[in-house]
Structure 1
Amino acid sequence: MADTAPTARAMGVLHGRIVGFDDYILHLPAKRTLDCASAVVVPGFGDSHNHMAWFGQSLAELDLSGCRTLDELYDAVSRFALDLPEDAWVVGSGYDDTVMGGHPHRSGLDQSAAGRPIWLKHRSGHMCAVNTEVLERTGIADGSVAAPEGGKIVRDADGPTGLLEEQAQKLVTAMVVPYPVTDLTDAIGAASAVYASEGLTHVVEAGIGSGWIGRSPVELAAYVEARRRGVLKTRVQLMAASDALHPLQSNSADGITFGLDLGIASGFGDDHVRLGAMKIFIDGSLIGRTAAVTEPFCDHGHGTGSFQLSLEELTQRIVDAHCSGWNVAAHAIGDAAVDLALDAFAAAQQKLPRPDARHRVEHAGMVRPDQLSRFASLRITPVPQPHFLFEVGDTMAAAVGTEREPWVYRHKSFLDLGVRVPGSSDRPVASGAPLLGMQSMVTRRTSGGTTLGPQERVDAETALRAYTVDAAWTAGEEDRRGTLESGKLADFVFLSAHPAEVPPDGIGEITVLATVLEGSCVFGQDYLNELLATHHTTVQSPSHLERQKG
């Protein structure tokens, strides 16, 4: 839809594609017509950074997000364990030490589930707590196993506390992965059903195949199987974890020295399951104070976080992947990590100019003023998570202090420099409903009622654009989705109201009435059934917001 026609009264769909609007299609015969009355139709939402299999698995795990004290957590573990077989693991996720006043200790966990192995994942995903049974099985308890590079086994006067940070988590995951493809397929299907109910038609899975984030070396097969079984209700672009890539032999003229076998790289696949960027972890998390920062945090021991690997190895992986044709997604939260990512991207482009590359900095949690222009000049896309501001904004503010608070999860500052900012969630680290994310972009309000970085607020139209137009562009798929235009995929969402036509605090309360993927309903069939055999559909699109950007 052109700038001069941002809205339409009718939209035609044929064979999964949009074929036209208003007078162009109203005279044509239609198999079905819908009159959605006061509802609004917008392009399907995209989430540029989520963890789909992880979230799907968490739906069957003990949910610890509501625990406000350690005693509540220990009690929840005890109750959950009662319904498990004697030899089953107790697996929980979503606990927040900043809310409970500390991390679970192995001694408390030992009393909660007599003898069973207990594995509790922090909400950030960058640390976990385990009991003595797990410490013994991994070899941590007797000191026979040390933390791998980029990881930490936390200890007190009595030995390991049970807290494992960053790469040290692999000591636990090594005992449970790889998960069966069947289990992963079920988890993906469960997650996809939730996503469809929230209006999501496309998501980017931020790391599969290897490392502490991967579920299986053959994880891609689970997404293919989910599609084959018909349970994948969302288009998915998959990031390959950097640990899954390896040196390759090819003709010297090809320059492909690093990647996956057969030369598979970013872009391989189809409109439903496609391979995206290489995902590389540079640092840790701001929530856990393991993000790499140039100046110490204001709490938690006043440390400066850590890097996942040596600076040389991180840089080399980024340069090698770039030169081998990959887009690169660099997880960088602290400003020191952002420095490394930007330096590595600059080195990569100097070695082999690729003006069409769409490299990204995942999270970009702390970006100094002097770093903003480098994003623009290097054509790097930041991928922040706006709803972090609501869910963990208060603890982030405490970590960075008043002086650095304006640097946290920026948005408008990037837009002012012509840099696109797509919408994303990092689910299950935070709630993933796109409308909640849009609300946080507009208000930047924390759960404690503080407005964090008010100068970075954007209007509702811009927020909607982030989850549609800019999410599609960041994935390199702006020619197929992101706007409602003739020839594009018929992915759209029926809403009870337009985000720009409700109060800012009400955006998250807008109801998703139905979600349509490639012309087929994947959520809200009952709603659409009520509309059948009536007249035409009213549509609105943020396509008029589309601007030419670098």
Structure 2
Amino acid sequence: MPLPPLDLIIENADVVTLDPERPQANRIGVLHGRIVGLDEDLDGWPATEVFDAAGATVLPGLIDAHTHLQLTGQGLKAVRIDDCHSAQSALDQIAEAATSAGPDDWIEVYGYDQLRIGRHLDAVELHKAGGGRRVWVKHWSAHASVVSTAVLERAGHGPANGLLHELEQELVGAQRLPYSQTELADAIEQAARQAAAQGITTCVDAGAGGVVGSLSPADGAAFQVLVDAGRLPVRVRLMPSMDVLHQVSVHQEDGFGRGLPLGLRTGFGGEMLGLSAQKVVLDGGMSVGTARMTRPMTGLDSPGVWRDDPDQMREAIADGHVAGWQMAVHAIGDAALDLALDAIAEGQRRSPRPDARHRIEHGGAIRPDQLPRLAALGLTVVSQASFLYDYGDHYTELLGPDRADWLYRGRSLLDAGVRVVGSTDRPLPGTPLRAIQSWAERTTNSGVVLSDDVLSVRQALEAFTVHAAWLLRAEHELGRVRRGYRADLTVLGGNPLTTPIPEIAALEIRNTVLGGRIVAF
């Protein structure tokens, strides 16, 4: 009986399977979105489509475990000042954009970095540059913004200089947000195509519905619009923010009090869109001095900020654990990490869950004594190694020589028994390949070597594939090139395992394959 034709055969490929049972292959067969065989399994099997990889390297599809598609899409449509190296050049670029704007239009600006341009912008000069319009300049970290006088006047309050940190940014959000479903869906699609062009096949959108990370409290519907229309080029898992949960009336024996309508939580959804962890943001960002440290960073009087009341956040984490959520806790400073560890330990005390797979987002500054606690609680650190390249010089200056080794750790986490997963935190400039290179060399963009806390290239690659899939409870179908797994693949112009480390970030992304379909960038 003749074999039914496969949907796709990829041939003439250097396949890095990341499957220890079969590390390498040259051909991949796909049927109904799944891998059905490799190499000799495909002998005599016809296919509707044959893709000649021409010697390219094929990897399991890269997973970006912490990203912000909404904010990335917003930034792609905004006035960009990434290439400005002075305050005046940034203001000139804003003024140029204002010449084609209507009198009631917003001027949204992305790529703001006070260090690069030499100082903070202020409300009065933004008012002048924007011709009296409402101007919203977002810091690259999303932990701060500067707004024009017109924004402050309509709000009736706010700092005179227009500089807003953390939740103070609600002042501008209350005027500009929410985005419409159409506007938001277009922004998400544009950002998702950028992700696909970087070799990514699955994204976790961190902070859905949240005050800072979201553009609409109904943002999940915009993702659904894209799924229904076949416009979503990557798989997405939404990470609802703590903000969107509310008090629910459950039986007292259940032991928790907060949730989403219908009791939806981690794991709900389908192959293209579903719910991931619940996100709780404990502190701010290192670059704007709001990460919560046990002692202030260099040159600062304050040890940073708490995003909310520490006791309430501690209870929210423990409550989410008891309710069955996977928890994703944003903790950049070491004091924030202390709170996260205490809260998760309390949740486990109330309701033991040995395979909860809770996550620490960022882990920007981790003390040596915190390593064994992370391991004992079974926590995973979702890190952004590319920050070391882009911002390592500034971060080491902020922490000082006695704390610089705490930054975005690598091998020391693995040695302690802590799983590490990679991400980009887009709209920041890093890519998965940049992060892989950064983990392997820990060098800043100025050439400074930070420490020897490196990962091997294979370990860094597994952080974006094998371990990221495990964190999403998808280790049975993502993260490896193996029979029965989803045909999500990344096609590169070279093999990162054999490419010289300083050249990894520049490897060409030739194709991204999602469920056996080649994605158009």
- Normalising by the residue count of structure 1, what TM-score does the alignment of the two structures yield? 0.90
Determine the structure 1 residue equivalent to 2:476.
479
Determine the structure 2 residue equivalent to 1:488.
485
Count how many residue pairs are aligned between Structure 1 and Structure 2: 504
Secondary structure of the 1:348 match is helix
Residue type at the aligned position of 1:168 = E
Secondary structure of the 1:365 match is coil
Determine the structure 2 residue equivalent to 1:157.
none
Distance change >3 Å, CA 33–CA 113, structure 1 → 2: closer
Identity of counterpart residues, as a percentage? 40
Question: For 1:451 and 1:302, how far apart are their aligned partners in 2?
Answer: 28
Residue type at the aligned position of 2:77 = A
Determine the structure 1 residue equivalent to 2:391.
392
Question: For 1:121 and 1:92, how far apart are their aligned partners in 2?
Answer: 6
| Mapped pair 1:14 → 2:13 | no
Do the aligned residues in 1 keep the contact of 2:239 with 2:277 (CA within 8 Å)?
yes
Residue type at the aligned position of 2:431 = A
Do the aligned residues in 2 keep the contact of 1:516 with 1:523 (CA within 8 Å)?
no
Question: For 1:34 and 1:426, how far apart are their aligned partners in 2?
Answer: 32
Question: For 1:464 and 1:243, how far apart are their aligned partners in 2?
Answer: 33
| Mapped pair 1:456 → 2:473 | no
Do the aligned residues in 2 keep the contact of 1:10 with 1:26 (CA within 8 Å)?
no
Give the root-mean-square deviation of aligned CA atoms. Answer: 1.3
State the Cα deviation string for residues 393-442 of structure 1 (Å, max 9, x = none). 111111100110000000111111222111101111x2242111111111
| Mapped pair 1:210 → 2:207 | no
Determine the structure 1 residue equivalent to 2:463.
466
Determine the structure 2 residue equivalent to 1:438.
436
Distance change >3 Å, CA 432–CA 272, structure 1 → 2: farther
Determine the structure 1 residue equivalent to 2:3.
none
State the Cα deviation string for residues 76-132 of structure 1 (Å, max 9, x = none). 110111111111111101211112221101122122122101110011100100111
Residue type at the aligned position of 1:164 = L
State the Cα deviation string for residues 257-286 of structure 1 (Å, max 9, x = none). 211010101111011101011111100000
| Mapped pair 1:225 → 2:225 | yes
Q: Indicate the larger mover: 171-180 or 44-53.
A: 171-180
Determine the structure 2 residue equivalent to 1:28.
45
Alignment of 1:212-361 (within 5 A): 212-299=212-299, 301-361=300-360
Q: Report the CA distance between 1:473 and its aligned residue.
A: 1.1
Residue type at the aligned position of 2:183 = D
Question: For 2:220 and 2:434, how far apart are their aligned partners in 1?
Answer: 29
Q: Report the CA distance between 1:176 and its aligned residue.
A: 1.5
| Mapped pair 1:190 → 2:187 | no
Q: Report the CA distance between 1:173 and its aligned residue.
A: 0.4
Determine the structure 2 residue equivalent to 1:547.
none
Question: For 1:403 and 1:223, how far apart are their aligned partners in 2?
Answer: 44
Question: For 2:52 and 2:75, how far apart are their aligned partners in 1?
Answer: 38
Determine the structure 1 residue equivalent to 2:181.
181
Detail structure 1 runs of 4+ shifted over 3 Å in the superposition. Answer: 252-256
Question: For 2:478 and 2:213, how far apart are their aligned partners in 1?
Answer: 28
Do the aligned residues in 2 keep the contact of 1:204 with 1:237 (CA within 8 Å)?
yes
Q: Report the CA distance between 1:54 and its aligned residue.
A: 0.7
**Larger RCO, structure (CA 8 Å, separation 6 or more):** 1
Determine the structure 1 residue equivalent to 2:58.
41
Q: Report the CA distance between 1:33 and its aligned residue.
A: 2.6
Residue type at the aligned position of 1:400 = L
Question: For 2:123 and 2:26, how far apart are their aligned partners in 1?
Answer: 61
Secondary structure of the 1:402 match is coil
Question: For 1:74 and 1:33, how far apart are their aligned partners in 2?
Answer: 52
Match among 494, 498, 504 for residue 497 of structure 1: 494
Determine the structure 1 residue equivalent to 2:123.
106
State the Cα deviation string for residues 459-505 of structure 1 (Å, max 9, x = none). 21111111111111111211110001111100001111111111111
Secondary structure of the 2:276 match is strand
Residue type at the aligned position of 2:415 = D
Do the aligned residues in 1 keep the contact of 2:71 with 2:214 (CA within 8 Å)?
no
Question: For 2:98 and 2:439, how far apart are their aligned partners in 1?
Answer: 39
Question: For 2:512 and 2:43, how far apart are their aligned partners in 1?
Answer: 23
Question: For 1:79 and 1:520, how far apart are their aligned partners in 2?
Answer: 42
Question: For 1:126 and 1:111, how far apart are their aligned partners in 2?
Answer: 24
Determine the structure 2 residue equivalent to 1:156.
none
Alignment of 1:110-121 (within 5 A): 110-121=127-138
Q: Report the CA distance between 1:4 and its aligned residue.
A: 4.2
Question: For 2:130 and 2:60, how far apart are their aligned partners in 1?
Answer: 47
Question: For 2:481 and 2:313, how far apart are their aligned partners in 1?
Answer: 40
Do the aligned residues in 1 keep the contact of 2:70 with 2:214 (CA within 8 Å)?
no
Secondary structure of the 1:128 match is strand
Determine the structure 2 residue equivalent to 1:423.
422
Q: Report the CA distance between 1:365 and its aligned residue.
A: 0.2
Question: For 2:405 and 2:113, how far apart are their aligned partners in 1?
Answer: 24
Residue type at the aligned position of 2:454 = R
